[in-house]
Amino acid sequence: MRPLVGLRRCNEFSAKLVHARPDRFGGFGCLPLPDIDASLEEFSFALNVLRLDGIVLFTNSNGVYLGDPILEPMFEELERRKTVVFVHPNPSPDLVAHSLGLPDNLLDFPTDTNRAVAQMHYTNRFARTPNVKYIFSHAGGEQRGAAADGSSRESFLSVTHPLSEEDAAGAAALRLVVAPMKVKFEGTAGCGPFNDTMERVAVPEDVTFEAPVPSDYSGCVACPLILEQRPL
């Protein structure tokens, strides 16, 4: 099966689920990046014909990260349509990153999200797309680590140099939306440490709760308490 045919079938399948049960499901369209022309065509089809809710992008596509200038036409269209963009990590294209023999989702996925966010920030991608609503999976990679040393969301995004006036406006409009990590801490206080650092990076309305399917939180004593005490 040709890749573009398989991608189109995925988008059509998502649309069928959404249309069959709009009370239960939403859907994001996939794009064949870094092919810009094909991606623009699929983007139009996903939103105009299939009526999907937004687009899913990967942190890198064949080594091309989301801040790369080659993707500018795609992001111009995402901005024009004020699109909801869900960003999920991909394995790093760097072979050294895989030399430890560990699963990508254990170590490299959060790191690849960092790479994408950093490049998007320092190339002013966020500043140029203030109307795009980005949702970064897994709590936005390791951005919670920046909060642990007292960094705020804004100061983390300007670690190496002061924000320009344009970039400051983009950072204010960005309001990173992040999804909690797919993790449970067996026999401990559960997600408490995670939630504490999350509060240092994003305000509650910027956080969406997400869980793997199927889910089993029977071993996490803290999750129900967190959701009750700190509604997201």
Predicted pLDDT at 4: 79
Stretch (H or E) spanning 56: strand 54-58
Q: What pLDDT score was predicted for residue 232?
A: 43
* Structural domains of the chain sorted by starting position, each given as residue range(s) with its CATH number in brackets: 53-229 (3.20.20.140)
d(CA 93, CA 62): 7
Q: Please give the C-alpha separations between residue 151 and each of 106, 147, 199, in angstroms, as whole numbers.
A: 25, 5, 12
- In 3D space, the residue among 94, 181, 96 whose CA is nearest the CA of residue 137 turns out to be 181
Cross-strand partners of 135: 86, 177
- DSSP state, residue 48: I
Beta bridge partners of 64: 61
| Residues of the chain where predicted confidence (pLDDT) is lower than 50 | 1, 146-162, 173-193, 213-215, 219, 221-222, 231-232
Whole-angstrom distance, CA of residue 205 vs CA of residue 203? 6
Distance CA 36, CA 30 (A): 13
Buried b (16+ CB within 10 A) or exposed e, 156-165: bbbeeeebee
Structure confidence by residue, pLDDT tens digits, 34-66: 999 999 999 999 999 999 999 999 999 999 999
Looking from the CA of 144 toward its CB, the CA atoms found within 13 Å total 22
